[in-house]
């Protein structure tokens, strides 16, 4: 079965072709980062308009790259939520209209389920059950995953998401939006223990996170130490964030008795986090899995893949569709 995946929940237009026999054939992403940069964040209306411009050319591109035609498609999976309403409507409208025209099913996919299952696109691939650390720009959650649609929330952030904390801290350090990757790069040359930064909620006894205090601590530090300390502040922030994310992930594994950790979402691309988790895993006989690096941030491949897994069971759309800008992952159920 050949599935076209369409992602348009935020500021990336992602298209992909996933074949249930042959795996991921091709994927393409257009990032709107440069367009939103001058505003310091995503402007929803501009995002929707840009998705409209990109979605058809990108569909052509993935089909051309795979040497396939629209008539070869068996189904279309699109991000139904959560995300920006207008942006979701573009991908949802496109996917449903095309599916109706081709006489094939369209299926709405939960964006976070896409992230959560994306490590299964890597080789070697993890086996259920596992603990998932979902760290994106909008979410920070630890989840027990027993199968497709069988998710139990173990803990989550009580304020900022991890990616949001990276982005806001980067902004304090004068880096361009979205600052996560830039902050990570700056931190590479820094001394992570020069400044004492808090590890919020590391010993709170539960599996929740908090990042807003860390951001405030950085603000105070930047005011006191000035420009010259930027590199070490960046390194200090990253070390603190990694300590908390790794500490809580290990605690989740201990409490569930599971031995496999899966990391997904944009912050999963962070090298310091990966190095730390790999080292801890090696020492403790655990296994850690990540999506392929280019599939950490938003993309159509994870949507095509999650859609393909669900299509065998769930009822597809009938041409009518809604988007779900706010949609908790816990509301999902296992495929019937």
Confirm or reject binding of residue 166 to ligand KG4 (CB under 6 A): yes
* Cα separation of the two ends of the chain: 19
Q: Which residues of 196-217 are buried (b: 16+ CB within 10 A; e: fewer)?
A: ebeebbbeeeebbbbbebbbeb
Sign of the four-CA dihedral 50, 52, 56, 62: positive
For ligand KG4, which residue of 17, 42, 267, 303 counts as binding (CB under 6 A)?
Answer: 267
C-beta closer to ligand KG4: residue 232 or 298: 298
User: Could you give the CA distance from residue 21 to residue 171 in angstroms, rounded to a whole number?
Assistant: 44
Q: Tokens 């996170």 appear where?
A: 209
For ligand KG4, which residue of 145, 184, 281, 288 counts as binding (CB under 6 A)?
Answer: 184
**Residue 295, binding choice from Zn ion, ligand KG4, none, Cβ under 5 to 8 Å by partner class:** none
For Zn ion, which residue of 50, 208, 298, 314 counts as binding (CB under 5 A)?
Answer: 298
Q: What is the DSSP letter of 193?
A: T
Confirm or reject binding of residue 297 to ligand KG4 (CB under 6 A): yes
**Residue 267, binding choice from ligand KG4, Zn ion, none, Cβ under 5 to 8 Å by partner class:** ligand KG4
Window 136 to 175, contacts with Zn ion (CB under 5 A): 136
Q: Is 254 in contact with 288 (CB distance < 8 Å)?
A: no
CA distances from 168 to 38, 40, 42, 135 (A): 15, 10, 13, 15
Cis upstream peptide for 178 (omega within 30°): yes
C-beta closer to Zn ion: residue 247 or 292: 292
For ligand KG4, which residue of 81, 114, 119, 163 counts as binding (CB under 6 A)?
Answer: 163
C-beta closer to ligand KG4: residue 105 or 324: 324
C-beta closer to Zn ion: residue 11 or 208: 11
C-beta closer to ligand KG4: residue 20 or 171: 171
């Amino acid at each position: 079965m050949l599935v076209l995946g369409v992602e348009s929940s935020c500021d990336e237009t992602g298209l992909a072709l996933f074949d249930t026999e042959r795996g991921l054939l091709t994927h393409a992403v257009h990032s709107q980062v440069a367009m939103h940069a001058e505003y310091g964040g995503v402007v929803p209306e501009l995002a929707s308009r840009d998705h409209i411009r990109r979605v058809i050319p990108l569909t052509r591109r993935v089909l051309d790259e795979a040497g396939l035609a629209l008539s070869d498609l068996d189904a279309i999976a699109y991000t139904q939520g959560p995300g920006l309403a207008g942006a979701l409507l573009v991908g949802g409208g496109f996917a449903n209209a095309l599916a109706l025209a081709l006489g094939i099913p369209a299926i709405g996919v939960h964006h976070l389920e896409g992230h959560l299952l994306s490590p299964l696109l890597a080789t070697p691939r993890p086996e259920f059950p596992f603990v998932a650390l979902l760290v994106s720009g909008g979410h920070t959650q630890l989840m027990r995953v027993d199968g497709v649609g069988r998710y139990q929330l173990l803990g989550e952030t009580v304020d900022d998401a991890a990616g949001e904390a990276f982005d806001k801290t980067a902004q304090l350090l004068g880096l361009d939006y979205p600052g996560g990757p830039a902050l990570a790069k700056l931190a590479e040359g820094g001394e992570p223990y020069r400044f004492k930064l808090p590890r919020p909620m590391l010993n709170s006894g539960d599996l929740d996170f908090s990042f807003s205090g860390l951001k405030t601590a950085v603000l105070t530090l930047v005011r006191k130490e000035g420009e010259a300390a930027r590199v070490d502040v960046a390194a200090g922030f990253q070390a603190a964030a990694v300590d908390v994310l790794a500490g809580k992930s290990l605690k989740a594994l201990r409490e569930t008795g599971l031995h496999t950790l899966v990391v997904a979402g944009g912050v999963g691309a962070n090298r310091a986090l990966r190095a730390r988790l790999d080292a801890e895993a090696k020492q403790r006989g655990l296994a850690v899995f990540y999506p392929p690096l280019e599939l950490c941030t938003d993309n159509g491949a994870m949507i095509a893949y999650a859609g393909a897994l669900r299509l065998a069971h769930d009822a597809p759309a009938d041409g009518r569709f809604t988007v779900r800008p706010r949609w908790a992952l816990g509301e999902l159920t296992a495929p019937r």
